[in-house]
Structure 1
Amino acid sequence: MSETKKNLTDVARQMMSGVVQVHVEGQLEEDIQSVMNPSIKIPGQWSGSGFFVRYLDLEGHIVTNAHVVRNSIKVEISSMLTSEERFEAEVVGLVKNLDPDIALIKLGNTELQRFKKYAIQDIEYLKLREGSSPFRGEEIKAIGYPMGMIEPNVSGGEITNFVSGSEYSTEHFVTNAAINPGNSGGPSISDDGTVIGLNTAVMMNAENIGFITPASFVKIIIENLLQHNESYFAGMGGKLQKNAENFNPLLKQTQARGVIVAQVLAHGFLEAAKIQARDVILAINGIEFDRHGIVIGKQGLYRHQNIYDVIKLVPIGEAVEITYQRAGEVHHTRAVAMRNPEKGIPSIPIISERKYLEVFGMIIQQLSVEIIDGMRDIDANAQIDMIQTIDQEEPVLVVTQIHQGTQADKMEWPPGELIIKANDTSIQTLSEFQNILEQNRGGAVLLECRNGRIGYFQIEADADFRSDV
């Protein structure tokens, strides 16, 4: 045991030189004001960790957490190889909804050459582990720059558990190695000299429980970003449900196995594969599933990887074989892995991507997950109305702020109203609304909301519709 620890310590000491500190200037995204009124920008500074990643013949590419660089305006890195010099980095891409919490940044050629000039040795590019996953009890080291330290910190621990993914989340390793603010984005390494995953988060109010994003997911995100400019995983493109013995007569099965397709989304993966509702998915690329959607096999004794974990590890654009059962007969079909189709109510976590229109004393935006979440602290009843629209395929406009003394305020319009019509014409986007306003300059517009509320607004001939559409 002592020899293993010594070897791992030596490995960590060598790999430590490939870990960098990430310094960020950006906009604070948590503030409710910026959610309800995107014109409000609240600046901030913070830091995290990252590491130079070995991928094909690329140079200067660094993996970090998406939350470290999301809503950044300026990103710099520093390294123990270059004293206290800082180098400006570009964001290649990131997973905007932070699941998984992965981003890829890089040093442009000029900054990369400057880095090499100052570096006391060659850049240590870290290799992502491929194939086998760590096992419970495997010893690891987590490397990073916690709490803004200017030198990298190495904390020891082991893999203690695994958390399966779902339709909305990805698999994580659980560790008792210390992962603190600022440490996230660095690598967790094993004594084979590879990165087993990306330090991601610590569970608050729990002792010695941290989470690591598996290297396999990091690799897929890198490939999707660099090859397809897609910061997404492949998705099922539908809803699944667990199977049960009760369904055997209906599905013409002798034993409940595989998962039932409950819904097929338009323009998604299952539709492309010509899968129908009530088909039973038995396997993907030869990997079989039990009635719970858990992978069948030896690994299932120790891990609960499921059907969502399997599909997410297929690169976007790669052909996938599906084995399914319909009316008791087994069939095989193929389709290309693709991201899930976008819904009308998206997540818009990037502040610069939040478009709005300021008119009649109102801030009007496209309804998003962030707005729904923020409405909880403003009007819980309005939030309930919004939640009912969450699965619709078309966008919807929402009033997020009312200014005092304006037309909207005098008609006592509250924040949270969902606008569906303007002058009896259905509208779903800001550009559609703005076109109607332009066409009726010097006149009026009748707005109608989802709950029946109406508003009659006068449009001045020289009105300046403040917007970021």
Structure 2
Amino acid sequence: MKYLKILGTFIGLTGMVCSLLLSNAAQTFASSENDFLIPGSFSGIAEAAKPSVVNISTEKTVKGGGRVFEHFFGSPFGNDKNFEDMLPPFLKNNPNPDYKQQSLGSGFVIDEKGYIVTNNHVVEDADKIKVKLAGGEEYDAEIVGRDPNTDLALIKISGAKSLKSLPLGDSDSLKVGSWVTAIGSPFGLEQTVTAGIVSAKGRTIGSGPYDDFIQTDASINPGNSGGPLISMDGKVIGINTAIIARGQGIGFAIPINLAKGIIDQLKENGEVTRGWMGVGIQELTPELAEYYGIKKSKGVLVTQVYKGDPADLGGIQPNDLIVTIDGKSVSTPKELSMQIANSPVGKNTKIDLIRNGKEKTVYVTLSKRKEGEMMARGGSDTQNAFGLSVETLKAEDAQQLGYAENETGVVVTATEPGGKADAAGLKRGDVIKEVNRVPVDNKEAFFTEVNRDKNRATVKILFKRGNYGFYVTEMKK
């Protein structure tokens, strides 16, 4: 009997402990995981946000292909001059005439004065921009400023009354698995509301040097570009930007925390200025750590310091391992580049680093980054905008790569996985011969031609791959 009494007491205590644990777990789940529960309805969020979401239609002039088109892709008539002679006079010398292209996108109001945020690719090179409000009113819009590097643009309409702005949230606090809502005009279907979850954060998709996308399975389609991605508290946490055409339920949005500073700069100055340190960097691999005798496993390795630039003046040297910037840890080149780029020009920035196994602190006064500067030099904090490293082809290297000793051009030494060059098919060992039909025989000439025309959205590259012949590829700038 005594044994049974003790056993009964033990079971009773165990039950009480289990009840308390379950109760605490339930309270924790209820208090911290509400964002992950399936909402009963999204109608409240949609009704509050829709008046601030706009439809954007644009018209732009697309230039004909001309001689450059024929050089890379051949004449549309082949070598048949008789066929070309049959054309009307206005087409004989211009088989690829200019034409008007119309596009649709979305945006959202950020203040009652008529400022609207959208994607750069929605309004880039547009001759006309029309904004249609939720109530059906239409207004002409003007571009206040654009930032192609982050695909953001700010436009403005005048004369609209009772505009309602959307509040901006905090994308840094957003959790994977949280519910979100996307509003926009997919395929011109205005005020379309879709919902899903945050699938991932910090995605790099090769669209530019500042990739840091929110991935979502909320349905995003052509026409959604520039529209808001909204959290369950009704605030904008992202700007819908891109999709994977061959995928389903894979969309990408620019985090609103990345966009806030850019929007402010566009609103105030019409352009974006970024901090510049002037270093070449790369990720610290275990092999490099062992080679340089670096015991610390996290940090960004300095591979090059540009003479006369802020890093050089501040005392940074090649093979330094940068560990923190203004007290914030950096472990990848992307993190370092983003932090420097988002820092104000002229800021005296504290850099903690490791040199020859010893900790050291230096201060670097950031200068203004010229967006063409990183390509003109052939390298940067982010390698370059294409994710491409090149060198002038030397005779000894040409022979090792299987080319003739007198082969000239620029040899690809590395491509960043997922970068624009990688996506365009360039590989290590390829020899670049021409850029936009202009021969290039050294690295400086290559980057000069790449950066020559600021208005070009793409660059065409003629390259040679071993004994397989010549190829042409096209990359977005």
Interval containing the TM-score (normalised by the shorter chain): 0.5 to 0.7
Does 2:117 align with 1:63?
yes
Residues 148-159 of structure 1: matches in 2 within 5 Å? 148-149=188-189, 151-159=190-198
TM-score, normalization by structure 1: 0.63
Question: Which residue is equivalent to 1:395?
Answer: 448
Question: Which residue is equivalent to 1:106?
Answer: 156
1:211 corresponds, among 252, 271, 282, to: 252
Instruction: Give, in whole Å, the separation in 2 of the partners of 1:171 and 1:396.
Output: 28
Which amino acid letter does the alignment assign opposite residue 197 of structure 2? E
- Residue pair 1:143, 1:188 contacting (<8 A) in 2 also: yes
Aligned-residue offset at 1:168 = 2.4
Which amino acid letter does the alignment assign opposite residue 144 of structure 1? G
Does 2:103 align with 1:46?
yes
Aligned-residue offset at 1:162 = 2.2
Instruction: Give, in whole Å, the separation in 1 of the partners of 2:304 and 2:451.
Output: 28
For the structure 1 residues 203 and 261, does the alpha-carbon distance in structure 2 shift closer, same or farther, using more than 3 Å as the test? same
Which amino acid letter does the alignment assign opposite residue 102 of structure 1? L
Output the aligned Cα RMSD: 4.3
Instruction: Give, in whole Å, the separation in 2 of the partners of 1:270 and 1:246.
Output: 25
Does 2:365 align with 1:331?
no
Residues 1-400 of structure 1: matches in 2 within 5 Å? 5-6=39-40, 8-28=42-62, 32-33=65-66, 41-54=98-111, 59-81=113-135, 83=136, 85-96=137-148, 99-107=149-157, 112-113=158-159, 115-116=160-161, 122-130=162-170, 132-149=172-189, 151-165=190-204, 168-231=209-272, 233-234=274-275, 236-247=277-288, 251=292, 253-265=294-306, 268-271=309-312, 273-290=314-331, 292=332, 306-327=335-356, 328-336=358-366, 338-339=368-369, 341-344=373-376, 382-383=433-434, 389=442, 395-396=448-449
Aligned-residue offset at 1:334 = 3.0
For the structure 1 residues 80 and 416, does the alpha-carbon distance in structure 2 shift closer, same or farther, using more than 3 Å as the test? closer
Aligned-residue offset at 1:396 = 4.7
Instruction: Give, in whole Å, the separation in 2 of the partners of 1:46 and 1:239.
Output: 39
Q: Quick check: which has more Rg, 1 or 2? A: 2
For the structure 1 residues 235 and 223, does the alpha-carbon distance in structure 2 shift closer, same or farther, using more than 3 Å as the test? farther
For the structure 1 residues 198 and 273, does the alpha-carbon distance in structure 2 shift closer, same or farther, using more than 3 Å as the test? farther
- Residue pair 1:141, 1:190 contacting (<8 A) in 2 also: yes
Instruction: Give, in whole Å, the separation in 1 of the partners of 2:231 and 2:132.
Output: 24
Question: Which residue is equivalent to 1:420?
Answer: none
Aligned-residue offset at 1:164 = 4.2
Aligned-residue offset at 1:13 = 1.6
Aligned-residue offset at 1:64 = 0.5
Instruction: Give, in whole Å, the separation in 2 of the partners of 1:104 and 1:162.
Output: 24
For the structure 1 residues 148 and 397, does the alpha-carbon distance in structure 2 shift closer, same or farther, using more than 3 Å as the test? closer
Which amino acid letter does the alignment assign opposite residue 209 of structure 1? I
Instruction: Give, in whole Å, the separation in 2 of the partners of 1:147 and 1:104.
Output: 22
- Encode CA deviations 1:24-51: one digit per residue, 9 max, x unaligned: 111237x754976999643211111011
- Encode CA deviations 1:75-102: one digit per residue, 9 max, x unaligned: 1101113x2x321111111123xx4221
Which amino acid letter does the alignment assign opposite residue 159 of structure 1? V
- Residue pair 2:244, 2:250 contacting (<8 A) in 1 also: yes
Aligned-residue offset at 1:309 = 3.5
Which amino acid letter does the alignment assign opposite residue 173 of structure 2? S
Instruction: Give, in whole Å, the separation in 2 of the partners of 1:87 and 1:195.
Output: 24
For the structure 1 residues 277 and 34, does the alpha-carbon distance in structure 2 shift closer, same or farther, using more than 3 Å as the test? farther
Instruction: Give, in whole Å, the separation in 2 of the partners of 1:68 and 1:34.
Output: 28
Instruction: Give, in whole Å, the separation in 2 of the partners of 1:137 and 1:131.
Output: 13
Which amino acid letter does the alignment assign opposite residue 395 of structure 1? T
Instruction: Give, in whole Å, the separation in 2 of the partners of 1:225 and 1:399.
Output: 24
Instruction: Give, in whole Å, the separation in 1 of the partners of 2:451 and 2:311.
Output: 32
Question: Which residue is equivalent to 2:399?
Answer: none
For the structure 1 residues 124 and 244, does the alpha-carbon distance in structure 2 shift closer, same or farther, using more than 3 Å as the test? same
Instruction: Give, in whole Å, the separation in 2 of the partners of 1:253 and 1:152.
Output: 55
Instruction: Give, in whole Å, the separation in 2 of the partners of 1:146 and 1:392.
Output: 42
Which amino acid letter does the alignment assign opposite residue 133 of structure 2? S
Which amino acid letter does the alignment assign opposite residue 45 of structure 2? V
* Aligned residues between the structures: 351
Instruction: Give, in whole Å, the separation in 2 of the partners of 1:271 and 1:221.
Output: 27
Unpaired segments ≥5 residues, structure 1:
117-121, 294-304, 349-369, 401-414, 418-469
For the structure 1 residues 104 and 388, does the alpha-carbon distance in structure 2 shift closer, same or farther, using more than 3 Å as the test? farther
- Residue pair 1:399, 1:416 contacting (<8 A) in 2 also: no
Unpaired segments ≥5 residues, structure 2:
1-33, 71-93, 379-383, 386-419, 454-459, 463-477
- Residue pair 2:146, 2:270 contacting (<8 A) in 1 also: no
Identity %: 27
Instruction: Give, in whole Å, the separation in 2 of the partners of 1:34 and 1:65.
Output: 31
Instruction: Give, in whole Å, the separation in 1 of the partners of 2:441 and 2:65.
Output: 22
